[in-house]
Amino acid sequence: MSRPRVLSGMRPTGKLHLGNYMGALANWVKLQEQYECYFFIADLHALTTDYADTSQIAPNSLEVALDFLAAGLDPNRCTIFLQSLVKQHYELPLLLGMITPQGWLERVPSYKEMQENLTTKDLTTYGFLGYPVLMASDILLYQPKFVPVGQDQQAHVELTREIARRFNQFYKAEGREVLPEPQVLLTPSPKLPGTDGRKMSKSYGNTIQMTDPEPVVRQKLKTMVTDPARVRRTDAGDPDKCPVGDLHKVFSTPETLAKVYDGCRSAGIGCIECKSWAADALIQILKPIQERRASFTEAKVLDILHDGSNRAFARAAQTMEQVYDAMQLKLTNGAVE
Ligand code: TRP
Ligand code: SF4
């Protein structure tokens, strides 16, 4: 019995934070039980913005791989791989690039936005414009049914569907479509504030890392912003207007949450106490993750990545076979074997 296939990836931004865990990894860990899953580290994507200094891409990829495993992705249940080790990720973008209208790429919402925001980098490159073609290829190589992503990536999966549709209109293998349109599986991502109350994000420097030891978690919670209406201990507050309250809603037990609502609204508890309960809940979540992380050596992680990349290669090769067949490039492909 074959299970529906799922594919998703993440850029190697370095050590991951709780937002990455709750927004993606925790969900992937559940998906591996029911689906045939491929999860990868998109190190070639890092080149679209970091081509001028590539020194951090490999070490960051290793950290992300460790965080995948720490979160509970199991290499016996899913395929974990590194994009740059699977050569079809260089191959399909060239072919899909031939059929992708330039206007489609220029209209991707993140294109202009990132060029305007990332002013320290020159993003007027062919590679940066073509980023969605790279992402479409990452996906279509595995002919997945579902692509679990957050809302920020939804437009890219929509474009992937359009590229697949266009490919299928031009080319067929023995009368059949070879690139099924994948569906977005919107990841439920709870509102997770960082220490400054804004969305937890590496670029804001407000994160709690998956690797933060207990004292660091407690210290970060201590300096976390609270309901601005609670200036003095005797002022009542509202957990619905407090980032610490938001953390409780995601991580605390119903009993603790009830104590937070009662205590905050009646000024019966202080913020220091309330924050220590939130820290307790976070530490509970992080403990097994950190223990798992410590159980992997670097050599073991590399082993897992190589093994997964070989499996991904074999699956992607099947798709490329069909793609060459559909595009009637089989002769070229076979002639150099
Ligand atoms: N673009 C995604 C991000 O920035 C990472 C990514 C690359 C991806 N290729 C993908 C996600 C394919 C899902 C499917 O996070
Ligand atoms: Fe926030 Fe808790 Fe303080 Fe209320 S008691 S303002 S929820 S930290």
Ligand closest to the CA atom of residue 265: 2
Distance 264 CA to ligand 2 centre (A): 6
Residue 277 has pLDDT above 70, yes or no: yes
Q: Can you give the pLDDT at residue 105?
A: 97
- Name the nearest CA neighbour of 4 among 137, 135, 139, 147: 147
**Residues forming CATH 1.10.240.10 domain(s) in the chain:** 212-292
Q: Half-sphere exposure (CA, 13 Å, Cβ side) for 301?
A: 23
Can you give 113-159 as a three-state secondary structure string?
Answer: HHHHHCCCCCCCCHHHHCHHHHHHHHHHCCCCCEEEECHHHHHHHHH
Q: Where are the beta strands (DSSP E) in 12-85?
A: 36-41, 78-82
User: Does the structural domain 212-292 have CATH classification 1.10.240.10?
Assistant: yes
3 state DSSP class of 6: strand
**In this predicted model, what pLDDT tens digit does every residue of 108-133 receive, in sequence order?**
988 888 888 888 888 999 999 999 99
Whether the CB of 230 sits within 6 Å of ligand 2: yes
Residue owning the nearest CA to atom 3 of ligand 2? 271
Q: Which atom of ligand 2 is nearest to the CA of 227?
A: 6
Whether the CB of 123 sits within 6 Å of ligand 2: no
For residue 7, what is the enclosing H or E element?
strand 5-10
Label residue 187 by pLDDT band (50, 70, 90). Answer: confident
**Residues forming CATH 3.40.50.620 domain(s) in the chain:** 5-192+297-336
Whether the CB of 47 sits within 6 Å of ligand 1: no
Whether the CB of 42 sits within 6 Å of ligand 1: yes
Hey, what are 222's tokens? 């201590």
CATH topology of domain 5-192+297-336: Rossmann fold (3.40.50)
The model's pTM: 0.94
**In this predicted model, what pLDDT tens digit does every residue of 197-232 receive, in sequence order?**
999 999 899 999 999 999 999 999 999 999 999 999
Distance 232 CA to ligand 1 centre (A): 45
CA distance 326 to 106: 28
Whether the CB of 156 sits within 6 Å of ligand 2: no
